[in-house]
Amino acid sequence: MDLKDMRCVEAIAETGSFVRAAEKLNMSQPSVSARVRSLEAKLGATLFLREPRGVVLTPEGAELLVHARRIRLQFREAEDDMAAFQRSPVGLVRLGLPTSLTASLAVPLLERCQAELPNVKLRIVESMSGYLAQWLREEKIDFALTFGASAPDLNILPLAREALLLVGSTAAAVAELTDDDGSVPMRRLANIPLILPGPEHGLRSLIEDQARQQAVPLNVKIEIDALGEIRRLVARDMGYTIMSSAAYADGDLYDLGAALIRRPSISRVINLATLAGRAQSRALKAVYQFVQLAVEDLVDQKEHFSGVSE
């Protein structure tokens, strides 16, 4: 018994005629009759009776018709499902997010992927930007948001610019360092104890480069590559830190104070990075677009984010 047998049973039942069923199926009438005879022999049952007004189903034939229609429906559903499967991206996508952006981006991205890409599994890996770039090169992740300059082995798409803030244990502690406009001049960074990540961290390199250009010596008292611990140390008034606005907003548990650094300001570019020369699946391309949209939303909704050209 196969799908053609089921189609023959349906067509004969619907038309009441072997001839009209053959026309409907684009088959010869002898072929339809032969299929029915073979099917009846396999099942050991008579499926149709010839009467003056046409062909009618026997009780056995009526029972088989129920199954035939169900099988045909399941087959059509399978075809539709496979067509949808081909249209919709499928597979695992591994996205690297810097620790400072995870709280702002992870949940919106996961929710959107579940809603719009049901056949894509998005795995988010959180780490420092420098580690993410290395994991891209080792193909441990598919793409990542990174900070800093471009590299010849990576394709870099700049998405946004994020201002950096001086953060202290309280708003009052930061206010002691601000000018009338509420910002902290960079020259005042020389007079305060700083808690920063280690030298290999992209944020540390950016801060030191800017300070060097302005001839501002930095007083780094504590080095620690853990954002949560930096927040705790600052909350205990062991020093100040410099962090992104997203990282500061994620740490409101400690009621820290913050102000923009100005004259000059310090900001970093958020890049979307992929490994140069690596093929991209449809799933990766779809999530790639979602990440772009998510960062655009940050620019529209969050303070201290701007477009790259602004």
Give per-residue pLDDT as tens, 73-126: 888 888 876 776 667 788 999 999 998 899 899 999 999 999 999 989 999 999
The pLDDT of residue 130 is above 90: no
What does the pLDDT look like over 161-215, one tens digit per residue?
A: 999 999 999 999 999 999 999 999 999 999 899 999 998 788 898 999 999 999 9
Cα distances (angstroms) measured from residue 302 to each of 72, 153, 160, 257, 307 = 53, 32, 12, 17, 12
Residue 310, token pair as written in the block: 């602004």
Q: What are phi and psi of 185, to 5 degrees?
A: -65, 140
Mean pLDDT, all residues of the chain: 90
Q: How far apart are CA 174 and CA 263, in angstroms?
A: 16
Span 3-87 CATH architecture: Orthogonal Bundle (1.10)
**C-beta separation of 7 from 72 below 8 A:** yes
> Where are the chain's structural domains?
3-87, 91-160+270-306, 161-267
What single DSSP character describes residue 261?
Answer: E
Pick the CATH number of 161-267 from 3.40.50.300, 3.40.50.2300, 2.40.30.20, 3.40.190.290: 3.40.190.290
Which range, of 64-68, 74-78, 238-242, averages the lowest pLDDT? 74-78
- Higher pLDDT, residue 94 or 251: 94
Q: What percentage of the chain exceeds 90 in pLDDT?
A: 62
* DSSP-derived secondary structure for 167-233: EESSHHHHHTT--TTS-EEGGGGGGS-EEE--TTSHHHHHHHHHHHHTT----EEEE-S-HHHHHHH
State residue 178's pLDDT score.
96
161-267 shares the fold of 91-160+270-306:
yes
Confidence of residue 253 (pLDDT cuts 50, 70, 90): low
Q: How far apart are CA 297 and CA 291, in angstroms?
A: 10
State residue 52's pLDDT score.
84
CATH topology of domain 91-160+270-306: D-Maltodextrin-Binding Protein; domain 2 (3.40.190)
Q: What are phi and psi of 152, to 5 degrees?
A: -65, -25
Q: Are strands 194-196 and 154-168 parallel, antiparallel or unpaired?
A: unpaired
What is the reported pTM? 0.69
State residue 249's pLDDT score.
81
What average pLDDT does range 272-284 have in this prediction? 91
